[in-house]
């Protein structure tokens, strides 16, 4: 999986890393049971601070996307272990709210918003590059 960090992005690097790993899991480029590089190795590969990678990994672990073993390393969990809790669903709603508000403010219809979301969801399901 190719991770692209944009240093000039408004999003913190750890968040970019987290989001790209989740995208890799969703698209199937990162498969359950697969090992990710160690914190130190990924930081070295990406040219970023190891504490940044550690922060992203810890968040992903808390969210149930993978398990960290001292000897085996970072292992992607099975889909059944990644089920969204009510708290995580609320977080997704909170993240969507400003996007929905902006769409509404710009006069984008509900049908168009749903069409966009549906297309993006299907692209992820099909493992397509352009979401």
Task: For 11-38, write each residue's pLDDT tens digit.
Answer: 999 999 999 999 999 988 999 999 999 9
Q: Are residues 93 and 67 in the same domain?
A: no
- Average pLDDT, rounded, for the chain: 92
Structural domain that includes position 29: 13-82
- The share of the chain scoring above pLDDT 70, in percent, equals 97
**Is position 43 within any domain?**
yes
Q: What is the reported pLDDT for 126?
A: 87
Tokens of 125: 């399901």
Label residue 93 by pLDDT band (50, 70, 90). very high
Q: How does pLDDT run across 33-61, given as a tens digit for each residue?
A: 999 999 999 999 999 999 999 999 999 99
| Total tally of structural domains belonging to the chain | 2
pTM above 0.75, yes or no: yes
Pairwise CA distance, residues 73 & 105, whole Å: 46
Q: Are residues 23 and 76 in the same domain?
A: yes
Q: Are residues 73 and 116 in the same domain?
A: no
Q: Are residues 119 and 103 in the same domain?
A: yes
Q: Are residues 73 and 121 in the same domain?
A: no
Q: Are residues 67 and 115 in the same domain?
A: no
Tokens of 128: 């397509």
């Amino acid at each position: 999986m190719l991770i692209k960090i944009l240093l000039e992005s408004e999003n913190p690097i750890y968040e970019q890393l987290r989001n790209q790993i989740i995208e890799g899991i969703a698209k199937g480029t990162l498969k359950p049971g697969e090992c990710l590089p160690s914190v130190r190795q990924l930081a070295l590969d990406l040219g970023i601070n190891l504490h940044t990678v550690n922060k992203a990994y810890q968040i992903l672990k808390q969210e149930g996307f993978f398990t960290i073993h001292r000897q085996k390393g970072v292992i992607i969990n099975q889909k059944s272990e990644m089920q969204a809790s009510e708290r995580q669903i609320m977080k997704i709603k909170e993240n969507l709210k400003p996007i929905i508000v902006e769409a509404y403010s710009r006069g984008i219809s509900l049908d168009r918003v749903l069409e966009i979301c549906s297309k993006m969801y299907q692209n992820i399901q099909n493992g397509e590059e352009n979401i």
